[in-house]
Structure 1
Amino acid sequence: MGITRHCFSCDLKDDSKLIAEYKAYHAEGKAWPEITKSIKEAGIVDMQIYLTGNRMFMIMEVDETFNPAKKAEMDATNPKVQEWENLMWNYQQELPWAKEGEKWIPLEKVFQLI
């Protein structure tokens, strides 16, 4: 089974109260079960989010069944995922170079130790 890693970045609003609330939603066992279920059903086998200041980095490991277009389609038709995404927009903001409505921006790998 081949695992592929994808990395993304997104900003939170630079407000300590909002950042604390966002972290609480993502604390172990606190993410809505419908959300974690949809993540796993899409072929995402591991997901981690790291934070420095108000900038986040997401590391996503996926199996061969993962298809970004299919995941986007699944999310668009899942009311609970849409509710979660709308809620998260209260905390998140677009990176300065993001397109309108674009949240998580793929990172370019510029180095790998071999």
Structure 2
Amino acid sequence: MRRYALGLDLVDDPQLIAEYEAHHRSVWPEIKASIIGADVLVMDIYRFGNRLFMIMEVSDDFSFERKADMDLRNPKVQEWEQLMWKYQSAIPGAGSEGKWVLMEKIFDLNK
């Protein structure tokens, strides 16, 4: 099992942030199924202000490339992503690669 941390910003608007959280309290079943189907074992999202932090624990079979390909071929995931983009703002430095950025691990208590 591997762990990844990713960051993303939300549009800095309290009403939009509240709507975003409401969507995530009732994530569509097809979205959950697509995440699980991509070998994601754990996915947690935390928020501070308009900054999001996601922790993903994945199986050894997981790859971001495979997940991206699966998502592109899934109309329901594309619909969800289009809806979420209303609330999201690419984190500074994200470039054109996508919204969520992979964060670099800089400390490990056990090492």
* Structures share fold, TM-score greater than 0.5: yes
Counterpart residue number, 1:32: 28
Q: Helix, strand or coil for the counterpart of 1:95?
A: coil
Task: Report the Cα offset of residue 101 of structure 1.
Answer: 5.7
Give the deviation of 1:82 after TM superposition: 0.3
Give 1:7's aligned residue: 5
Tell me the TM-score normalised to structure 1 length: 0.94
SS in 2 for 1:66: coil
Identify unmatched segments of 5+ residues in structure 1.
none
Aligned to 1:52: 48
Q: Partner residue of 1:97?
A: 93
| CA distance in 2 between partners of 1:34 and 1:93 (Å) | 24
Asked whether the equivalents of residues 7 and 58 of structure 1 are also in contact (C-alpha less than 8 Å), the reply is yes
Calculate percent identity across the aligned residue pairs: 52
What do you get for the CA RMSD once the two structures are aligned?
A: 0.8
Q: CA deviation at 1:68?
A: 1.2
1:107 to 99, 103, 110: 103
Post-superposition shift, 1:100? Answer: 2.5
Gaps of 5+ in 2: none
TM-score of the pair, normalised by structure 2: 0.96
